[in-house]
Structure 1
């Protein structure tokens, strides 16, 4: 049976009957001659059958049953007519469903959330304030929201935006924006190559501009390495350019770490608290432990929405789980403490270097200092010597792009 036939049966209504007797074939023949269509006929026993028949045809089975000497029993009623009949005797339930549908319709006809993606900080605030000025705010009528008008208004009000995409997803308006790429604008601006960190210059390779340092020079962070301005004695028609090049320098990075002989580690205690946060449009209801009842904890939130077409409704629930964390203390010996602080000191020193340094040497200095209570404090200092590119581009002040309006 296809989906359309099952839907038609549900709308018209059908019943499931059970017939018991010795002349069941005669009963089937008489019912067929009377225009009654029996479906899904099964024989649970030699003198019994179960079948489906339309609700409107059930009364036409009484005559064939009497003639064949078969006893009929109504097993189940299914379909829309029976559902409506039951609801007619429960006006309170009908009124509740009607009110719920009306509330859902009102909620669905409004915008309850505005999500801005692709920009952050001050730019995101400017986008949000512009949307409010254009009439888009939580509670606004969904029919009055014109995505194309909002896109055009945002592009005019926030000139640093490269493009904007506004989409309505149920009761949520999602605004995706992108700013103009500053690196593309900076690529056309004159400027200098400056030192990103202190170091001893070992090699200078200038693609454009005029080098102002040479191998063997000690430079400080922010010092000009390759100038984009013409030097004294340059031709009168020489203009400022965007300096470019690579400057390798010998750099030193330092890291420090310390620890006692008793370490403290956070571990899950095994206790946890759960809560449910239900969001319906602008309203929120918390059930259970939505707020953490522990001093030290880690929180996990799982978001859920209605499935299928119901996902457009402004209804969401979040499962919140708080797991208590307990402090666990354990003792280590001097050798373990030394290894621990040396690893931490080296990691801290390496964090001050660039992405691909050429490490020349690593020097570690580790010592213990007594604390006076029978314990000791283990300390370590690491110094990494490496060669890396320290060049960074900085535009000239008079050529810098104007900052966005506040």
Structure 2
């Protein structure tokens, strides 16, 4: 690749050598260290490529070998300049383009976020803008360590942040904390006392306690709100009397068999969009906050659908420019009243139920069975029934703080003396 570019920069030609002995001509080129490439036989001789400087040395060799050299093509930058030497505006435009590209490379034109789930791109972009970080800012003013510190300080549940500059793009990578920890503490170095209570009715199937006092066992039936793990530990003396309490933040995994009712109703009549082929387009070009468009998409359609497609111009993968282009379009449609068939209604309700089950499984809920059935009526269809689940049913609740009344003994002794 580099060698080809150097050849193009210096310029080269394509030759066709014919005559009494072209092989002798090739030997003479080798003896005089004239470099040729792309050698191939032709009908009357050989075709080859040669640099401009070596081509100028061929006249004595041609005379000595009694061959005929025909120039078939000129390639490279010197010939490009010679071909367009009178087009001064063209070269001025090339120079101006290079200057503009150099100027644009000094700015940040795009901010890209990766790894964020809880916080959308718009939220993080608005925060960075409040910190003075936004598109069209100078690259030299971008403080990547400062951006990392600001995001970590503002969002406590973001545990890792990376900021880097790739071309004209500022790349922000974050890692969010997937666990939930209590943020409040009763005092410095002291954890908040917390009980774990049941979030639903069920039968306990598994309990693993890491902190706190379990109040239930496997096989116990619990109601919503019952205490599963107590964050208060009794302190007793030698006589097994309660003399105080120690408080902890309960931590345990408690699973139970539960059940929930599922209901989904579908109207059999609906309105379908029927496009009539009427469309209007409006191409546009955007430069920062300025937009230039051609035509208009104003319409008097009763029902219409608007679509905007926009592409930002970039060179390579990460060199973004402050230009974007796109197309706005409007499509007209009419609404036609339709009615689902029994088979279509069953398929739609079954698909919704499948998605509902997939959402539960993504949350770690195990579905052990269901008796959901589909019922069809004159104007509607309903899927209803019970799902039998096995899930984690713990939720936090503040521990009740108790005080122990101390009994003071009377140490005085009375006598009759």
TM range (shorter): 0.5 to 0.7
C-alpha spacing 1:280/1:169, structure 2 compared with 1 (3 Å): farther
Partner of 2:410: none
* Equivalent of residue 17 in structure 1, options 15, 35, 48: 15
Structure 1 unaligned runs (5+)?
369-375, 400-406
Once the two structures are superposed, residues 85-126 of structure 1 have per-residue CA deviations (whole angstroms, 9 ceiling, x without a partner) of 334322111011111111111111101122344446679778
Whether the 8 Å contact between 1:192 and 1:225 is mirrored in structure 2 is: yes
Partner of 1:392: 394
Tell me, in whole angstroms, the C-alpha distance in 1 between the residues paired with 2:344 and 2:174.
50
Once the two structures are superposed, residues 204-231 of structure 1 have per-residue CA deviations (whole angstroms, 9 ceiling, x without a partner) of 87644353899566x45xx243253549
- Match of 2:244, SS state, is coil
Alignment of 1:219-230 (within 5 A): 219-220=223-224, 223-226=225-228, 228-230=230-232
Deviation at 1:50, TM superposition (A): 3.1
Partner of 1:311: 317
Tell me, in whole angstroms, the C-alpha distance in 1 between the residues paired with 2:28 and 2:253.
100
Whether the 8 Å contact between 1:349 and 1:382 is mirrored in structure 2 is: no
Alignment of 1:302-381 (within 5 A): 310-315=316-321, 336=343, 339=346, 343=350, 355-359=365-369, 362=371, 366=375, 368=377, 376-380=378-382
Partner of 1:61: 58
Alignment of 1:113-124 (within 5 A): 113-119=110-116
Whether the 8 Å contact between 1:257 and 1:345 is mirrored in structure 2 is: no
Structure 2 unaligned runs (5+)?
185-190, 235-240, 402-417
Deviation at 1:15, TM superposition (A): 2.0
Once the two structures are superposed, residues 152-207 of structure 1 have per-residue CA deviations (whole angstroms, 9 ceiling, x without a partner) of 4544565554332111011111122335554355797542333334x4x4448764
| Residue 44 (1) aligns with residue 48 (2) | no
* Equivalent of residue 194 in structure 1, options 192, 197, 200: 197
Tell me, in whole angstroms, the C-alpha distance in 2 between the residues paired with 1:341 and 1:159.
42
Alignment of 1:195-344 (within 5 A): 195-197=198-200, 199=201, 201-203=202-204, 207=209, 208-209=212-213, 211=215, 219-220=223-224, 223-226=225-228, 228-230=230-232, 236-242=244-250, 244=252, 246=254, 248=256, 251-260=259-268, 310-315=316-321, 336=343, 339=346, 343=350
C-alpha spacing 1:182/1:289, structure 2 compared with 1 (3 Å): farther
- Match of 1:238, SS state, is strand
Whether the 8 Å contact between 1:203 and 1:215 is mirrored in structure 2 is: yes
Partner of 2:93: 96
Bigger mean CA offset, 85-94 vs 5-14:
5-14
TM-score when normalising by structure 2: 0.65
Tell me, in whole angstroms, the C-alpha distance in 2 between the residues paired with 1:114 and 1:306.
13
Partner of 1:73: 70
TM-score when normalising by structure 1: 0.67
Give the number of equivalent residue pairs. Answer: 379
C-alpha spacing 1:133/1:74, structure 2 compared with 1 (3 Å): same
Whether the 8 Å contact between 1:112 and 1:282 is mirrored in structure 2 is: no
Deviation at 1:298, TM superposition (A): 10
